[in-house]
Amino acid sequence: MNTSRRDLLKAGVGSLFIATISSPISAFSMMPMHSGRMLPPSKVPRVVIVGGGWAGVTAAKHLKKELGDKVDVVLIEKRKIFMSCPISNVWLGGLVEMDFLLHDFQTPASKYGYHFINATVTGINRHKRRVMTTEGYINYDYLILAPGIRYNYEAWFGKDRDLARLCATKFPSAFIPGSEHIALKRKIENFEEGTFVLVVPPPPHRCPPAPYERAAMIAHVFKKNGIKGKLIILDPKKEIKPKGKGFGDAYKQLYGDIVEYVPNAKVKAVDPVKRVIKTTAGDFKFDDANLNPPHQAGDLAWLAGLVNKKTGWCDVDPLTLQSKLDPRVFVAGDSASVKGFPKSGDMAHNHTQNMLVKALAAIIRGKDPYSAVSAPTNTCYSMVNGKPKEAIVINVLYSIDRKKKAPKKKKVNVVNKRSSQLAESTFEWAKALYRDMFG
């Protein structure tokens, strides 16, 4: 294999369709493989973390902070650079530079003393407790699986991978960070007139408010550019949720002549060639679109055999995030299914730091994991106006039911009245989390 193709695969660029559309297992067998051991054996328990997104980077730092030299932490990530999905809608709206979303993996790894390996994981042998990558293999005592999500295009196109590929190329979803975001931004900025459709994926999906925030930011760009066009939001739900009033008010008051919200629009069929979507609320023709298929646990979770096929997500202990199928594996971030937890970056950061890491550290110390965990919170800001910048917010506090060994919602606070102050808090929230993960 020549260098340029190998570099592409390492960067995760060439693997987009392999990893998201084809069957995960056949896909990984096409990857280049180094067969040697990557690191010498460790004298202390080794925790291998797969996926350097919001959950994985948080896990690496906080495990080292908890256990110091008593643990060897290895983070494996296929991308060369971290790009944040949170704030990416704000970037789509032209309110922040791309630089704000980008971070490097090396600074926190050297600061907190964990290994960072830039490689694509190609296989997981749970029996041998071994992770195979494009750079070699590594054995683990514990594995934290944090691969994010995959797009379930099969729900729309069945086995027709050509059509799925065409749809993903012409109308990229941009719910997984990378070049799809850049393609979507170009589309929005170059849109001249007509109908632009945004499909809201069915729940549970990554970041419940993200499609609605994205719609507001697209409408802001259309308004700014004086586009004579409609933005149609096709939502499978019966109403906007969460922050329904805040989004609804913004659509009516700021973008009344641009946004048309269509509830109960479950996708029945998508024709990316004729540009038609058939839904339970009628058929819609479009000139351009942001087509978002359903989400599932990331490919690696399937490859590891840890996904509940009925739900498409990983069943875990709701307090420790330990896989229900393998006590040596913990699932962090969006791939994990915990009742009441949204699939958000804030929640990925929170449940990883306060629950998973505390529980795993307790296990490594020989202590009870359940008494070590603490309740998470989840805060999610959504930018709804670009001029002036204005946002809305939801904040959920959880408590822990120690008897039931499960988290429960304690208090939900929603601010639907958009304000500039909340827009400022949006950036402060993001900076604080980036600082924690990368600072």
Ligand X SMILES: Cc1cc2nc3c(=O)[nH]c(=O)nc-3n(C[C@H](O)[C@H](O)[C@H](O)COP(=O)(O)OP(=O)(O)OC[C@H]3O[C@@H](n4cnc5c(N)ncnc54)[C@H](O)[C@@H]3O)c2cc1C
Q: Which of 330, 328, 297, 325 has the alpha carbon at shortest distance from 130?
A: 328
Helices (H) and strands (E) in the chain, counts: 16, 24
The count of other CB atoms within 10 Å of the CB of residue 159 is 8
- DSSP-assigned letter for residue 378: E
Interface with ligand X, residue 66, by CB under 6 A: no
Interface with ligand X, residue 85, by CB under 6 A: yes
Piece of 80-88, 193-201, 280-288, 415-423 that binds ligand X (CB under 6 A): 80-88
Q: How far is the CB of 122 from ligand X (least distance, A)?
A: 7
Interface with ligand X, residue 350, by CB under 6 A: no
Interface with ligand X, residue 146, by CB under 6 A: yes
H/E stretch holding 4 reads helix 3-11
Show Cβ contacts of residue 331 under 8 Å, excluding neighbours closer than 6 positions. Answer: 144, 145, 146, 297, 301, 306, 314, 316, 321, 323
Residue 216 in contact with residue 251, Cβ under 8 Å?
A: yes
Q: How far is the CB of 22 from ligand X (least distance, A)?
A: 13
Q: Which of 88, 152, 279, 350 binds ligand X (CB under 6 A)?
A: 88
User: Binding string, 192-231, against ligand X, x = CB under 6 A?
Assistant: --------------xx--x---x-----------------
The count of chain residues that interact with ligand X, using the rule CB under 6 A, is: 36
Q: Helices marked H in 225-336 — which ranges?
A: 244-255, 299-303
Q: How far is the CB of 68 from ligand X (least distance, A)?
A: 24
Instruction: Report the distance separating Cα 313 and Cα 345, nearest Å.
Output: 17
Residue 219 in contact with residue 247, Cβ under 8 Å?
A: no
Q: Which is nearer to ligand X, 254 or 433 (CB)?
A: 433
Interface with ligand X, residue 380, by CB under 6 A: yes
Interface with ligand X, residue 77, by CB under 6 A: yes
Site for ligand X in 160-199 (CB under 6 A): 175
Residue 330 in contact with residue 55, Cβ under 8 Å?
A: no
Interface with ligand X, residue 101, by CB under 6 A: no
Contact residues: ligand X, CB under 6 A: 12, 50-56, 76-79, 85-86, 88-89, 120-121, 146-148, 175, 206-207, 210, 214, 298, 300, 333-334, 343-346, 348, 380
